């Protein structure tokens, strides 16, 4: 490992002011690099992870969309692909914790560190604090990445900061930097499990106990296994489990858990008999298809349908039932994505605002899978927790209420509206339902639990009802919320 020049090793005590490296380090340098250092090969898995982190920071990229493309284009072997995935997603999830540690080790706020160097520091700090990768490998590969792009001076800065980070393990850094449990339990857990404080507050409001909050935050940090949906009428979950080597789901009759392997390599997925879909999302579509409506006239509606996961499942069920699904989506691009997944099904896609779709009332079943903060799928969207802000929520709540109100106008008496969010935020879930029920006495809420429990489960695994709030730590699903409303 290169030591990075005079005074860059914090354990030797030289070159640091107030516990941090020299002020000059970490700022962009245009100094020419010599060919020898520039050409030193860098680690392939870490390069891919770094590209993802950089695109997330600079271009607002989505890690879970970009990484699979970069992996396909790379020549990495399966082991290195796994490492790149762990490093890109793990680092993107842990940013708040990593930045606090880096700022302390560097002796300056991360906002004062060059963004490109900060990406490398985050990647290195993640390896040091949250993986079993040895500190020598974590530091030296980070130094190589910087040297290849920026030359020896900046590499020295990164070397110095990471060596300082490596002097404590994660728990010691948490002890040093997080609020104490005695003073601020939620603040402590938010820091330790790398969640913004406001999200930990929201989860605490919804869960009501510190023990459960800790379990929920920890579950967001676990890498979730892939859930497959077996499209009804095309393949059964039993068959899909057999050919994929997975296990049938606990709640959804169409779900298969795929603990390992690339779902894209399965013929059933390539041929459209199966898809990737969280079991919680499947249950929303299942509830919409199962809810009692008396005689079903076969007019079904999905009012917020893009990119089409639930529309594809509902469309398959509609096909088996002799029904037809109208799928509304405001975004042209996302409407095209729906078209791709409902090909051959009795589904018509409409590009329209769900609040004024122009569709005729009289639907038997309407699904409102509303645009929301997405706080329920943080484990599947690594960087999302650091992008969302509490200020995003009020406008979403307004839109959610307007969409349910319109859905209730479009449903016939005796028909049902299923309202769902991929968020456990009480403002987006129970408060929306309470407001709708208070405003319209022609609407009643139906117990959603028996609709999702399946034959083998007691409805009480979904709480006290009448709505269902799923959680990763309780149900191994995304934290989907669903409520079923019937027009009297």
Instruction: Classify residue 304 by its DSSP letter.
Output: S
Q: Which is nearer to ligand SAM, 88 or 384 (CB)?
A: 384
* C-alpha 312 chain-centroid distance: 21
Instruction: Report the distance separating Cα 12 and Cα 1, nearest Å.
Output: 16
Least Å distance, CB 381 to ligand SAM, is 12
CB-CB contact of 398 with 428 (8 Å): no
- Identified catalytic residue from 146, 422, 482, 483: 422
353 binding ligand SAM? (CB under 6 A): yes
Write down the least CB distance from residue 335 to ligand SAM, Å: 9
User: Does 68 appear as a known binding residue?
Assistant: no
**Residues in region 274-303 near ligand SAM by CB under 6 A:** 281
Question: Which two three-digit tokens encode residue 228?
Answer: 């497959």
Q: From 19-27, 95-103, 108-116, 306-314, give the range in contact with ligand SAM by CB under 6 A.
A: 306-314
372 is a catalytic site residue: no
Residue from 4, 354, 415, 472 touching ligand SAM (CB under 6 A): that is 354
Residue 88's closest CA among 113, 116, 51?
51
Identify the CA nearest to 298 among candidates 252, 341, 347: 347
DSSP letter string, 146-200: HHHHH-HHHHHHHHHHHHHHTTS-HHHHHHHHSPPTTT-HHHHHHHHTT--HHHH
Contacts 24+ apart (CB under 8 A), 22-27: 22/157, 23/108, 25/153, 25/154, 25/156, 25/157, 25/160, 26/106, 26/108, 26/112, 26/113, 26/114, 26/117, 26/154, 26/157, 26/161, 27/114
Phi, psi of 420 (to 5 degrees): -140, 155
Q: Tokens in use for 366?
A: 């309407």
Q: By CB under 6 A, is residue 308 in contact with ligand SAM? A: yes
- Which segment (29-37, 129-137, 289-297, 308-316) binds ligand SAM by CB under 6 A? 308-316
348 SS3 class = strand
In the bound state with ligand SAM, the residue whose beta carbon lies nearer, of 180 and 331, is: 331
Least separation in angstroms between CB 304 and ligand SAM:
3
319 is in an annotated binding site: no
Report, in Å, the least distance between residue 314 CB and ligand SAM: 9
CB of 193 to ligand SAM, least distance (A): 25
* Least Å from the CB of residue 333 to ligand SAM: 9
Total of residues contacting ligand SAM (CB under 6 A): 19
* Site for ligand SAM, residues 411 to 440, rule: CB under 6 A: 422
Q: Which is nearer to ligand SAM, 191 or 471 (CB)?
A: 471
Is 35 part of any known ligand binding site?
Answer: no
The whole-angstrom separation of Cα 337 and Cα 283 is 21
Query: Is position 336 an interface residue for ligand SAM (rule: CB under 6 A)?
Result: no
Residues 358-397 vs ligand SAM: string with x where CB under 6 A? Answer: -----------x-x--------------------------
Q: Which stretch binds ligand SAM (CB under 6 A): 16-24, 134-142, 329-337, 382-390?
A: 329-337
Residue 326 engages ligand SAM in binding (rule: CB under 6 A):
no
Residue 329 CB, nearest approach to ligand SAM (Å): 5
Output the CA torsion sign for 177, 182, 184, 185.
positive
The DSSP result for 421-486, as a single string, is ES---TTTTHHHHHHHHHH-TTEEEE--HHHHH-TTS-GGGGTTSSSEE--HHHHSS---EEEEEE
318 is a site residue for ligand SAM (CB under 6 A) = no
Burial of 218 from C-beta contacts in 10 A (0-12 / 13-18 / 19+):
middle
Per-residue tokens: 8: 């860059």
Binding-site annotation: residue ranges for S-adenosyl-L-methionine = 304-310, 329, 353, 369
Binding-site annotation: residue ranges = 304-310, 329, 353, 369
The footprint of ligand SAM (CB under 6 A) covers 281, 304-310, 328-331, 334, 353-355, 369, 371, 422
Q: Which residues are catalytic?
A: 422
């Amino acid at each position: 490992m290169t030591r990075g020049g005079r005074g860059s090793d914090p354990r030797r005590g030289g070159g640091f002011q107030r516990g941090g490296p020299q002020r000059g380090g970490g700022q962009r340098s245009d100094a020419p690099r010599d060919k020898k250092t520039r050409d030193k090969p860098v680690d392939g898995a870490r390069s891919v992870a770094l590209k993802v982190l950089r695109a997330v920071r600079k271009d607002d990229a989505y890690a879970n969309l970009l990484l699979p493309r970069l992996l396909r284009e790379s020549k990495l072997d399966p082991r290195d692909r796994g490492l790149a995935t762990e490093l890109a997603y793990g680092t993107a999830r842990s940013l708040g914790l990593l930045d606090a540690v880096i700022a302390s080790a560097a002796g300056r706020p991360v906002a004062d560190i060059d963004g490109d160097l900060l990406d490398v520091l985050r990647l290195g700090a993640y390896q040091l604090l949250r993986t079993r990768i040895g500190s020598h490998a974590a530091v030296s590969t980070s130094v190589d990445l910087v040297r290849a792009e920026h030359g020896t001076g900046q590499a020295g800065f990164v070397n110095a900061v990471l060596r300082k980070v490596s002097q404590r393990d994660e728990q010691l850094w948490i002890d040093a930097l997080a609020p104490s449990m005695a003073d601020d339990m939620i603040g402590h857990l938010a820091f330790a499990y790398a969640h913004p404080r406001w999200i930990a507050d929201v989860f605490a409001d919804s869960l009501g106990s510190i023990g459960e909050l800790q379990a929920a935050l920890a579950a967001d940090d676990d890498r979730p296994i892939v859930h497959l949906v077996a499209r009804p009428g095309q393949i059964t979950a039993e068959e899909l489990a057999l050919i994929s080597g997975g296990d049938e789901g606990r709640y959804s009759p169409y779900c298969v858990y795929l603990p390992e392997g690339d779902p894209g390599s399965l013929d059933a997925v390539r041929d459209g008999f199966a898809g990737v879909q969280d079991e919680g999302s499947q249950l929303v579509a299942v509830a919409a298809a199962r809810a009692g409506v008396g005689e079903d006239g076969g007019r079904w509606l999905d009012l917020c349908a893009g990119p089409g996961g639930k529309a594809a499942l509902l469309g398959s069920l509609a096909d088996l039932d002799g029904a037809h699904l109208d799928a509304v989506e405001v975004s042209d691009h996302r409407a095209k994505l729906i078209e791709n997944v409902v090909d051959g099904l009795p589904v018509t896609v409409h590009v329209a605002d769900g609040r004024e779709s122009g569709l005729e009332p009289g639907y038997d079943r309407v699904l409102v899978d509303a645009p929301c903060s997405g706080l329920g799928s943080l484990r599947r969207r690594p960087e999302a927790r650091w992008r969302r802000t509490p200020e995003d929520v009020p406008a979403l709540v307004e839109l959610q209420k307007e969409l349910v109100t319109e859905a209730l106008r479009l449903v016939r008496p005796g028909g049902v509206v299923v309202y769902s969010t991929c968020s456990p935020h009480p403002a987006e879930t129970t408060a929306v339902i309470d407001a709708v029920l208070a405003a319209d006495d022609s609407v009643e809420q139906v117990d959603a639990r028996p609709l999702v429990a399946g034959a083998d489960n007691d409805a009480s695994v979904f709480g006290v009802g009448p709505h269902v709030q799923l959680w990763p730590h309780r149900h191994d699903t995304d934290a989907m919320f669903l409520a079923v409303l019937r027009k009297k």
